[in-house]
Homo-oligomer: A and B are copies of this chain.
Amino acid sequence: MNKTTKITVSIVGGSGYAGGELLRILSQHPRVSIKSVTSRQHQGKKVTLLHPNLRGFLDHLRFCSIDQLTKSDLLFLALPNLKAMNNLDQYLNLGQKIIDLSADFRLKDPDQYVKWYQIKHPRPQYLKKFICGLAEIHGPQIKKAQYVSCAGCEATCSILSFYPLLKEKIINDREIYIDAKIGSSAAGNQPALATHHPERSGSFRSYQPTGHRHTAEFLQQTQARNLYLSATAVEMVRGILITGQARLKNTDINERDLRKIYRNYYGNQPFIRIIKERQGLYRYPEPKIVAGTNFCDIGFAIQANSRRLVVIATIDNLVKGTAGQAVQAMNLMFNFPQTTALEFQGLHPI
């Protein structure tokens, strides 16, 4: 493929927040031609009706029905959980390659779907065919993949920040505590009392003190033996911040060593920044600084004279946690520069 040819891309389920974010990013991708975007509910309407930030960019694009789709080089599935797995055959015919943004092909072991989603997976043979979309960990496989499944937003943040520590076996893998603070956009665009503004505004709500499904992804990816994950919905639209606590196996490990480990794993990764400053306000990662970007910012602190390690990490759940992760994977799959269309730096102040 020469350097100016465009690939054709279609999106199934384009009216949600993940779909809108895909459209935003892809609309400025020089190697992508957006062919079709489906929406059952909004068929026939302009995409800018639901994604008002795209006015002036995608004015002529309208949602179509799935029946109007023809085969694309790449098909994005941006559907609610449990949809893609049940219509897989149809989608296999509509995309030379497929990137799924839902949870439907994230877990490799079908039993885990029984445990965490209370369903029997209808297409277990496909679970291993979908490569996890975390480019920092699975980059080489993604380059060759036909099917990619993006990691969950909370899982993305937790996995990327803990992966090097667990791989290097420097922390106790039975004693990992993560407190995740999550913005309202992670709940999708369907109104409900829980997200009604007077109820959700100013809220700090423990909506999943135990039993968060992303636990399964974390354990699968990191091979840790345990994760104690608590999730709190906080006053924020976009973003996830995790505050992780763990125990170093060895008291000799210092912050310089940690920096080196992260550099070894992520030194060449364009979307990981290690944030640990001695001055200024922004010494550790903060979600508002990465809003709109594809960054995963990671910081850490070791308590003086102890084996206690605190890990702080943040992403924009709709970008690195969903649509940006997907486009980054697409860039790898089609041999485009990895950062294409993902160059936004984020805003400050905001």
Using a CB–CB distance below 8 Å, which chain A residues touch chain B?
17, 20, 24, 27-28, 45, 49-57, 175, 177, 179, 181, 183-185, 189-206, 209-211, 228, 230, 232, 234-239, 241, 243, 245, 270, 273, 275, 277, 279-289, 291-292, 295, 299, 301-304, 308, 310, 312, 314, 343-350
Whether A310 and B210, one on each chain, are in contact in the complex, defined by CB atoms closer than 8 angstroms, is: yes
| Residue among A28, A314, A346 facing the most chain B CB atoms (10 A cut-off) | A346
Q: Which of B200, B203, B310 contacts A209, CB < 8 Å? A: B310
Cα distance A18–B206 in the bound complex, in angstroms = 27
Give the residue name and chain of the B residue nearest to A310 (CB).
Answer: B209
Contacts of A287 in B (CB 8 A): 204
Whether A53 and B196, one on each chain, are in contact in the complex, defined by CB atoms closer than 8 angstroms, is: no
Give how many copies assemble into the complex: 4
Cα distance A308–B50 in the bound complex, in angstroms = 30
CB distance from A134 to the nearest CB of B (A): 19
CB distance from A349 to the nearest CB of B (A): 4
Cα distance A68–B199 in the bound complex, in angstroms = 30
Whether A181 and B234, one on each chain, are in contact in the complex, defined by CB atoms closer than 8 angstroms, is: yes
Cα distance A289–B199 in the bound complex, in angstroms = 10
Cα distance A217–B28 in the bound complex, in angstroms = 36
Cα distance A285–B203 in the bound complex, in angstroms = 10
A204-B286, A228-B303, A344-B344 given; 11 more Cβ-contact pairs under 8 Å: A24-B345, A177-B245, A181-B232, A189-B193, A196-B196, A197-B197, A198-B350, A199-B281, A206-B310, A209-B243, A230-B243
Contacts of A295 in B (CB 8 A): 56
Cα distance A273–B56 in the bound complex, in angstroms = 7
Contacts of A230 in B (CB 8 A): 179, 243, 245, 310
Give the residue name and chain of the B residue nearest to A198 (CB).
Answer: B349
Instruction: State whether A204 and B52 are in contact (beta carbons under 8 Å apart), knowing that A196-B191, A198-B349, A210-B301 are contacts in the complex.
Output: no
Cα distance A49–B280 in the bound complex, in angstroms = 6
Contacts of A237 in B (CB 8 A): 197-198, 201-202, 349-350
Contacts of A299 in B (CB 8 A): 206
Whether A238 and B347, one on each chain, are in contact in the complex, defined by CB atoms closer than 8 angstroms, is: yes
Cα distance A281–B270 in the bound complex, in angstroms = 36
